[in-house]
Amino acid sequence: MEAIYPYAHLIHLLLAIIFLGYVFTDVFMISSLKNKFGKETDEKINQTLGSKSFKIFPISLLVIVLTGGMMMSRYINSTAGFFETDIQKLLVIKIVLALIIVAGVLFNLFTKFTGRKKPKFMQEQFHKVVLILGFFIVVLAKMMFSA
């Protein structure tokens, strides 16, 4: 595991930047375009962006979770313990925040594949929640290895 840790770390960071960058762009840039061009054009924009993000978003999140799990095993395991150190405690908080994001993405995938309508909150607020949780995940990651 130690041999592949730097590669998993690099992939994890690059995909996290892409993932949060897309969410940031959606929250602050793309959402400002809504209702600016008329209903038909807005629907085309949403369909185009939705089809692209549907291909990138879940796959990148899956790889982020897999690489995160690989890296997590270095700090949380039967030998090192689970809640023994401050790093482990911060890491557990990061994992919980990440699992909230994963649960939301899985819920959105479920609604898409079953043809159900997304709740209004998931349509209008989920990316904001992801952005806030992502911010705290980044801050916690920095806190884990500071001082």
Each residue's pLDDT expressed in tens, for the chain with a length of 147 residues: 789 999 999 999 999 999 999 999 989 988 887 777 888 887 888 788 877 787 888 899 999 999 999 999 999 988 888 889 999 999 999 999 999 999 999 999 999 899 999 999 998 899 999 999 999 999 999 999 885
Extract the tokens encoding 131: 């952005």
Residue 52 pLDDT: 78
Nearest to 129 by CA among 20, 51, 13, 12: 20
β-bridge partners, 77: 81
The CA radius of gyration of the chain, in Å to the nearest whole number, is 17
Q: What is the pTM of this model?
A: 0.89
Extract the tokens encoding 84: 């023994």
- The DSSP letter of residue 71 is H
CA–CA distance, 76 with 139 (Å, rounded to integer): 19
CA–CA distance, 44 with 105 (Å, rounded to integer): 22
Nearest to 56 by CA among 31, 20, 32: 20
